[in-house]
Chains A and B, each alone.
Chain A
């Protein structure tokens, strides 16, 4: 085994580069005290948790904001529809300027998951039977919501299910009683399958992360053929706005 590979208890290795790339995604500002220090100083403790065998990869520039992923995520898990219970969230400003107008925010199945770490009962755990996805055993959840506040991302990818009274998170669809397909790592994911823009995909490698999310461009030339934006990663405006869109005003014209 190469020097820069870190061995996990499960025997799956992944590289230091991947690990730090994963951590990097948390962003310095968002890192929560104890967790960071622990993460860096005693990596073997963190590494005691095997990596998830799968990750959602979202392309925020390909998303059309139809919320279909949210509707189906809640439906296959709960048998009823409720975006507030969706484990993927699509945040939007209808008046915003592309690409700052919307994005999907999804659980990253962190290599060092603060949510799992925070759980006092082991309800929030790494599920060996389900490809090491980080998931909540609802029967063990005591409702302390520590995991909800531990997830370092905004918005928190951990949720308090206010209707059924337990914490929940993306399980890569491992526990989807209202779907005729097998979910979980190795199976299918409702958000991926239902997205009409094919803006969510699945990867088995820890994706390279940026502060705002994974780098992913799932758009090919067919997308460009529709006059839609095919440019690469990053949210910096790489485009100069037309000089003559007269800003509409509510005030009466002169």
Chain B
């Protein structure tokens, strides 16, 4: 069976001299797609890995995967972005972000498997891709426009005044095809233009790529947007098999909207929390539901459709922390307006979701405010109103008031204000690693925190978290029995992941340092690097380690991933081989970070993780006296010594030198990465 899924070429763009080159995708197919290919391209084309993210030599890749554009369930529309980041502290590691929607699919219909951008333009430009034809366009007239206006303007430029309900001829000849779609545009807003470290990329309404600061990097490159539109086909090796997978997944694991197997116990203005485990549509805001007529809205090819579009048109397509942004207002309409403003200005929700409350704490402490140590004339007494957040967001985009400091991100602003050391020690600034806002408790839910610390950013992979943390929490909060017991939970996870040992999901005081846990952490990195970041399966949908829609509660993983991969590409791989590909991708990353200056000594959490005990109940499976139960994990800290020992064992498990954390020749050689070992050796950074 022929290889499917790829359209064959990667577009390389040099913004400095406005030239392009086409790289055959086959040269990079061994890396799968997405992050794997973006990282391999970076390795090959950015000789000095120690450059700053703002350096024109930094290469930003927008990569698709074989699955993109094919209809592979919840794996069709995501785009992976890679490059040296500007958000992390103290060093902007080589990193990644990823956004949903339809951009990657459209890029493939336009003839490319990816776009890699290097250099910087001396004047504002945008890149216009129409069915394989690439032009550099003057973006002077777009500069200053917000992300929504930018896209609407580009739609007009590319597709004229064609109505949303009509066909657009891709060219004057009848052989170029027609589409009813508007160009798929990824762009930056005013925050990105100002080169802020917390500027995001935005596509369509709510698809943001925030982490890493790629919005600011595009700003530094003077690149306002990349637009693509095309009418070409994406080949699929075994279409009938892919169709069977789609229909089976819908039947067996999908949420039947007409007659659900498990239905949430609340309706109306309540919570959507139940959707976390049911695959129901429209649950993306978790803590709230629509207060006005709404429909579900999904990324291309999704089988869940977690977001919503609203009668007001505000907060369309927003999800997760975007959707939860400015809950402080306590007024859903104001919140939706704040979310939309955030999207329009192109600011990363995650840097500010707790960032604004940190700033408010400093205000209440008398440290920040008019005439205070940190001078600010924003209306702090009106905190929790739309008026306040509107002014704060504009201050960041415009660089006025404390916005001038916050353009460097909340973490670097704290450093500049001399607050950082004290506040990460106390946890007032709860950022456990690399300057990223805490996401899940780093003292407890450790495959998240260890993975983030040994990597480049907050990992943001929910497949395990939906089950171990959210399932017991949601069912307890809503007063219904857990969908299944803790014992069944760990059995399901052990089996679906392939780790085999249920103790991998023991979050007790001992469990989080034990060898089975390290295997679970390693599995998480390898699965994530291959399936989520390189094959671009959505992390809100995959892996499906358990299910409330099946009798035995077994999820779709790993059977469906392997079947999808084979149906699309025609390549037969085992699940173990896929994880090995993930390990290879993860190890090349480790080599890049090593060249950037990573060392064992840096891989420590912020002080509060070790010193400040947890105070709120936090649900996770724990094994106590041989019995499994959902624990509430109160009064827990991470033990410094035990963690250091755990780190040593984790390095050994990954084949890294235990004294430095650097990859070794033996470890890299096993993965066919001898040339990477050579480069590390040349730089005096090969682990021994």
Contact = CB atoms under 8 A, between A and B. Distances in A.
Interface stretch (A27-35, A50-58, A79-87): A79-87
Contacts of B283: 226
A95 B181 CA distance: 14
Contact of A101 (B235, B256, B313): B313
Given A67-B102, A178-B239, A228 B295 contact: yes
| Most-contacted residue by chain B among A80, A99, A219 (CB, 10 A) | A80
B305 A196 contact: yes
B70 A81 contact: yes
Nearest to B341: A248
B287 interface: no
Interface in A38-97: 61-68, 71-72, 74-76, 78-85, 89-97
A156 interface: yes
A154 B166 contact: yes
Q: Is the interface of A mostly helix, strand, loop or mixed?
A: loop
A231 B302 CA distance: 25
B383 to A, nearest CB: 15
A242 interface: yes
Given A81-B236, A223-B257, A248-B340, A194 B247 contact: yes
Nearest to B256: A198
Residues of B in contact with A, size category = 35 or more
Nearest to A82: B233
Contacts of A67: 76, 102, 300-301
B682 interface: no
Nearest to B300: A67
B317 interface: yes
Contacts of A91: 164-166, 180
B234 interface: yes
A181 B174 CA distance: 32
Given A80-B235, A248-B341, A222 B309 contact: no
B268 A227 contact: yes
A68 B260 CA distance: 20
A105 interface: yes
A223 B294 CA distance: 11
A228 B290 contact: yes
A72 B311 CA distance: 29
B217 to A, nearest CB: 22
B304 A83 contact: no
B146 interface: yes
Contacts of A253: 390-391, 394
Interface string A156-167: 100110110100
Interface string B332-353: 0110111011001100000000
Contacts of B177: 84, 160, 162-163
B167 interface: yes
Contacts of A89: 180
Contacts of A247: 337
Contacts of B344: 248, 250
A112 interface: no
B180 A193 contact: no
Contacts of A222: 257-260, 263
Interface string A12-27: 0000000000000000
Interface string B280-324: 111100000111111111111111110011111110110000000
A233 interface: no
Contacts of B71: 68, 71-72, 75, 81, 194
Nearest to B165: A91
Contacts of B166: 91, 154-155
A91 B278 CA distance: 28
Interface in B236-282: 236, 239-240, 242-244, 246-247, 250, 254, 256-260, 263-264, 267-270, 272, 275, 280-282
17 contacts: A63-B295, A66-B298, A68-B302, A72-B71, A76-B239, A84-B232, A97-B309, A97-B312, A103-B165, A145-B174, A163-B233, A196-B281, A219-B257, A225-B267, A227-B282, A231-B293, A246-B386
Going nearest first, the 7 A-B pairs with the smallest beta carbon separation are A71-B71, A227-B289, A248-B341, A64-B305, A66-B298, A84-B231, A250-B146
Interface of B: 69-71, 76, 102, 109, 144-146, 148-149, 152, 163-167, 174-182, 190, 204-205, 231-236, 239-240, 242-244, 246-247, 250, 254, 256-260, 263-264, 267-270, 272, 275, 280-283, 289-305, 308-314, 316-317, 331, 333-334, 336-338, 340-341, 344-345, 386, 390-391, 394, 398
Given A64-B302, A103-B165, A225-B264, 17 more contacts: A65-B297, A65-B309, A66-B305, A71-B76, A75-B71, A98-B309, A105-B180, A162-B175, A197-B305, A227-B290, A241-B312, A244-B334, A246-B390, A248-B338, A248-B390, A250-B146, A250-B344
